[in-house]
Structure 1
Amino acid sequence: MRHILKNVLTLSSLSLLLMSATVMADDAADVGKLLRAGQTNEALQKVDAALAQKPKDAQMRFLKGLILTEQSKSAEAITVFTKLTDDYPELPEPYNNLAVLYASSGQYDKARAALEMAIRTNPTYGTAHENLGDVYAKLASQAYDKALQLDSGNSTAKLKLTLVRNLVGNTTGGTNPKTAALTTPAAVTAPAAKPTVVAAAKPEPEPTKAESKANIKSTPAASPVADREEEEVLKAVESWAKAWSSKDTTTYLAHYAKDFQTPKGETHKAWAEERRNRIEGKGRINVKIEAAKISVDGNTATAKFRQIYTSDQLTANSRKTLNMVKQDGKWQIKQERAGS
């Protein structure tokens, strides 16, 4: 049966979420060629060789998860993506791919939880929203089917089940979650038996200095007061990045509001301790903010920018959004997420 939950990244696309160092980029290109040729075993050997040199490289680990998925080694792929969510909880794509794997084996509750985490990390992640809708439709199908097992004369449940079957293309009635298709009308005729794979957007060209300055404000300043507030927000963001780069965790954590929405719903204390351990455990960190766009509405603000993160083991070039609030005269982070 077909499963339409969408993996992240085409196997022919090397414009991955993370931009690694030149050597790793060359390795990724080689892996892509092997995958396009259907040589998954050779691609896996290439990835393993690269990870032997840099075991923490997120790009190669992500590729390994994709290869294992292609090889129908779901348990191993789940292990890879789960570890990625532990090490890089701010990235939504590993959560999405976990959901694909869980759904393919009928574990829809786990798929739902993984997709909700992807959306919490990046609320604008369209693929995760679509996949979550498919999972909910499948869960609804199972629930209506169970209702009919308990009361075969329930005409309302029959009608609802028929509607859901038409929506998700479920021809088995939802009684077997391991084999029932989970697909949208647009994908019903798709010939592929494997989960659909979608392309990630290519990284945008890095802006020039002139462009960066021009993009600091998202709209023309309405007044000198608004102008000053935007500058204050930008200063707070730059101070946050500077503290992160210098591994000054006390100052770094002070940039977060007391009611900061933690990525996994853990307590603020637990999240702060985990961040402290990860930052202070790095050998070298450099965080640069480019092409910042600031918008202010009273005591709340949004900062969108390109974040260039570099450490001994990873270089990441990604979009970042900070939702901020003014507390005790200081702009602090209420929520952060990857993506535009």
Structure 2
Amino acid sequence: MKRTSLLALLFLAFTSHAGLSLAATSSEYQEINSLFKQGQYDNALTRANAYIAKNPQDAQTRFLKGLILTEQNKSAEAIKVFTGLTEDFPELPEPYNNLAVLYAAQGQYDKAKNALEMAIRTHPSYATAHENLGDIYAKMASQAYDKALQLDNKNATAQTKLALIKELFSNRNTSVASASKSTATPVVAAPVAAAPVSKPTDTKPNVAAADNTDISDAVQAWATAWTNQNVKAYLASYAPKFKTPNGESRSAWENSRRERITAPKKIVVSLSDINVTNVTGDLAAVSFKQTYQSDRLKSNTHKIMALAKVNGKWLITEERSR
């Protein structure tokens, strides 16, 4: 596929977050995507526009439209599409990443940096965004070293650092040129409401069946409250000292969760392979597979939670998805 020089440096996320997808991929979407992969961009765009007109909340087709516009070098229109996705589906990291690609191609590195930071804030384990953010920092450093050399062309340190960055980008362009030939189906990730936690140091299952049952029941009750869109019961599952994902205030985090829980018409959250580990006194860790489905999205993720016993109840102190 044709790429501009910076799109070769910061390639679009055609695939990401294995196992995550939108609830239902229609046959029409598949046909549009097939046209896209065949390079029939005009036909693909026409059909995408017609489908989106009837299904404005179909995030995946809108995302595909952004990719089509990007391939047509219609950057302003593509930016508009991806920006709309970040506004309507702020929990999706890919639109932020693709915005960053487009901004970087225009030399708007501050905007690219901000978009990537939002992608990472939305999904801390999004490796592509982390790598792209590193590239943005490197490009900004390159500009700074260039400026330093303009002011002092005998600055040997700046010359060396600039040469290293140029060599890095030269190698990266070669490897990405091959990677960009991939025609994998673009995937839009589902919402992730999680924060990083320290990995348990002892992963051996505790054999105290009664304690483990209490912990499993607490996690199941959390999932049930989410399914029932019972915000009060859901928030009550979190400890007073719960570490919010981005360090925001507890009230700000609760307001955000309340909005996301009540917005869908229907939510179903089911858990499987629940494994209670590292039970030490009033502390425990739990890992499980989580299936989330609403009228908008569907996701399958692996989640790890840290819990503490507070006033006789097991409450969530940290959580993360991977």
Helix, strand or coil for the counterpart of 1:334?
strand
In structure 2, what is the equivalent of residue 179 of structure 1? Answer: none
In the TM superposition, what are the counterparts of 1:1-340 in structure 2 within 5 Å?
2-3=5-6, 4-9=9-14, 17-21=20-24, 24-169=25-170, 185-188=171-174, 191=177, 199=184, 220-224=204-208, 228-260=210-242, 262=244, 266-296=248-278, 298=280, 299=283, 301-311=285-295, 314-326=296-308, 328=310, 329-337=313-321, 340=322
One-letter code aligned to 2:173: A
Superposition RMSD on alpha carbons, in Å? Answer: 3.3
In structure 2, relative to structure 1, the CA distance for the partners of 1:38 and 1:87 (3 Å cut) is same
Counterpart CA distance in 2 for 1:67 and 1:240 is 40
Counterpart CA distance in 2 for 1:117 and 1:318 is 22
1:199 is displaced (CA, Å) by: 4.7
In structure 2, relative to structure 1, the CA distance for the partners of 1:149 and 1:79 (3 Å cut) is same
In structure 2, relative to structure 1, the CA distance for the partners of 1:143 and 1:272 (3 Å cut) is same
1:43 is displaced (CA, Å) by: 1.5
Which consecutive residues of structure 2, in runs of 5 or more, have no partner in the other structure?
A: 189-201
Counterpart CA distance in 2 for 1:229 and 1:75 is 57
Counterpart CA distance in 1 for 2:253 and 2:181 is 34
Helix, strand or coil for the counterpart of 1:319?
strand
Counterpart CA distance in 2 for 1:296 and 1:201 is 38
Q: TM-score normalized by structure 2? A: 0.78
Counterpart CA distance in 2 for 1:134 and 1:286 is 39
One-letter code aligned to 1:274: S
Helix, strand or coil for the counterpart of 1:18?
strand
In structure 1, what is the equivalent of residue 196 of structure 2? Answer: none
Equivalent pairs: percent with the same residue? 42
In structure 2, what is the equivalent of residue 175 of structure 1? Answer: none
Is contact 1:99–1:115 with CA below 8 Å preserved after alignment?
yes
Counterpart CA distance in 2 for 1:322 and 1:52 is 39
Which consecutive residues of structure 1, in runs of 5 or more, have no partner in the other structure?
A: 170-184, 204-217
1:64 is displaced (CA, Å) by: 1.9
1:128 is displaced (CA, Å) by: 1.9
Counterpart CA distance in 1 for 2:29 and 2:61 is 7
Is contact 1:255–1:333 with CA below 8 Å preserved after alignment?
no
In structure 2, relative to structure 1, the CA distance for the partners of 1:190 and 1:5 (3 Å cut) is closer
- Equivalenced residues, count: 299
Q: TM-score normalized by structure 1? A: 0.75
